[in-house]
Amino acid sequence: MNALYSLLFVFLLVLIPLFGVDAAHMKIFFGVCIPTTAFIIFLLGFIYKVVNWGRSAVPFRIPTTGGQFKSFDPVLFKQNKYDCPQTGAQTFVRMVLEVFAFRSLFRNTSASLHETKGGPVVAYKSSKWLWLFAITFHYSFFIVALRHLRLFLEPVPFFVNGLEFVDGILQIGAPTMYLADLGLVAGVLLLLGRRLASPRINYISYASDYFPLFLILAVALSGVYMRYFAKVDVMAIKELTMGLVTFNYHIPEAVDVSFFIHVFLVSVLMAYFPFSKLMHLPGVFLSPTRNMPNDTRAKHHVNPWNDPNIKAHSYADYEKHFGPAMAEAGLPLDNPENAEAQEKA
């Protein structure tokens, strides 16, 4: 039901600009006011979340690890430098692999229960489907976003032209079909299919998991429709988008209603972004489970919340105070004299 609710809500979002532009002729509202407001919400919300996360104190080293820690016997126990980094350089490499290659997803495994003659056995195997779906989706989305820079910049940067050439290198159709468009739609559908097809994942999925996927799918499909089916006037659209950037607002008559639907969906996505799980984009860089070296056994870390006016209670003082009780409980004492310290006193 969560998936159905999200799908219906996205469908209603499509109807809003459709009737607003066609019936109410609110082109200025949907072409200027909505995207400008959405961008401001996105920018302020993004900055607020990042600054708020950055101000959070992290008193302990809490990186997630998946390999051998550096040992005193490196021959017997070889350190896994990137799954259990101990230095800043190793942590940097780990972050690069995580951000650009989704390394933790690549190492993903799945568990299954098998019946054998000796009883049920749990088996683990490599599962790289999620990694494949995720990397297809994210890189396609990134390329599509970079390609759209040509609508907001004049002259168009050379790397955008080069990216468009590589993206449409197959030269299929007119206008040329872009590989990133196919990858974006396929990636979203695969991630959606994974949530819907797996009973376990479907059970723990909320509307907040389905809504961004359906919304991004609607954005992608509306863009595909504009380019390959409606074949909108790109020059008129660039005139509108350049007006947004230069604050010289103008809505050309040649702009099709499909463009306003696409822009409205993108605006909803931008406004929703800072308040959703999509904030893992900056969150991965600020996550202490990823960006900290695991050196707690090699380096002493002082809690920044410690009150300097409070004298620390050393273990020697602790043992001296509780020595008789520890001896009675059979606990070992560094100084056996502490067992009778209070009795003599």
| Banded pLDDT at 242 (limits 50, 70, 90) | very high
Distances 290 to 77, 82, 94, 108 between C-alpha atoms, Å: 23, 11, 8, 16
Report the share of the chain in percent with pLDDT over 90: 57
Token representation of residue 289: 């489970």
Amino acid (1-letter code) at residue 196:
L
Domains of the chain and CATH, by start: 2-286 (1.20.950.20), 315-344 (no CATH)
Tell me if residue 126 falls in helix, strand or coil. strand
pLDDT in tens, 217-238: 999 999 999 999 988 899 999 9
109 secondary structure, DSSP code: E
| The pLDDT of residue 158 | 92
- Please provide residue 90's backbone torsions phi and psi, each rounded to the nearest 5 degrees: -65, -40
pTM: 0.84
Q: Which residues pair with 115 in a beta bridge?
A: 120
Contact 243, 19 (CB under 8 A): no
pLDDT in tens, 107-119: 888 888 888 888 8
Token representation of residue 71: 């040992």
Q: Enumerate residues 6+ apart whose C-beta is below 8 A from 4.
A: none
| The pLDDT of residue 345 | 46
- Contacts of 147-156 with CB under 8 Å at 24 or more apart are 147/178, 147/180, 150/238, 151/237, 151/238, 151/241, 151/242, 152/241, 152/242, 152/244, 152/245, 154/242
